[in-house]
Amino acid sequence: NAGVTQTPKFRVLKTGQSMTLLCAQDMNHEYMYWYRQDPGMGLRLIHYSVGEGTTAKGEVPDGYNVSRLKKQNFLLGLESAAPSQTSVYFCASSYGTGLLNTEAFFGQGTRLTVV
């Protein structure tokens, strides 16, 4: 029972390089989210998706793009990485409907360093 799986777990990028972070969930959840976690800043929402083929901006979307082509996958892209994007990235998913199904499940995180 994998839950939410993030790939890769660690990555070092040079400024200006691009990359894609993959999030996969096997719980048939409708909703998926990308957060970044920085020291003293908590978890800040980058983008989210309420279903296959739909995405929306969160609190800190600049410099990121996302796609949700399949219900189980949510991709986060960095087109031109900057040192300010050095962070730990977390993907989460939730079923979302019904009083008993609000819990968000998080992946293990991707630690990204941009040099």
Partner 1 sequence: QQQVKQSPQSLIVQKGGISIINCAYENTAFDYFPWYQQFPGKGPALLIAIRPDVSEKKEGRFTISFNKSAKQFSLHIMDSQPGDSATYFCAAKVNSNSGYALNFGKGTSLLVTP
Q: Which residues bind partner 1 (CB under 8 A)?
A: 4, 30-31, 33, 35, 40-45, 48-51, 58, 90, 92, 94, 96-99, 102-109
Which of residues 17 and 105 has its CB atom nearest to partner 1 in the complex? 105
Question: Least distance from C-beta 99 to partner 1, angstroms?
Answer: 7
Which of residues 14 and 42 has its CB atom nearest to partner 1 in the complex? 42
| Coil, strand or helix at 24 | strand
DSSP state of 62: T
Which of residues 18 and 65 has its CB atom nearest to partner 1 in the complex? 65
Cross-strand bridge partners of residue 66: 76
18 Cβ partners below 8 Å, 6+ apart? 77, 78, 79, 80, 81
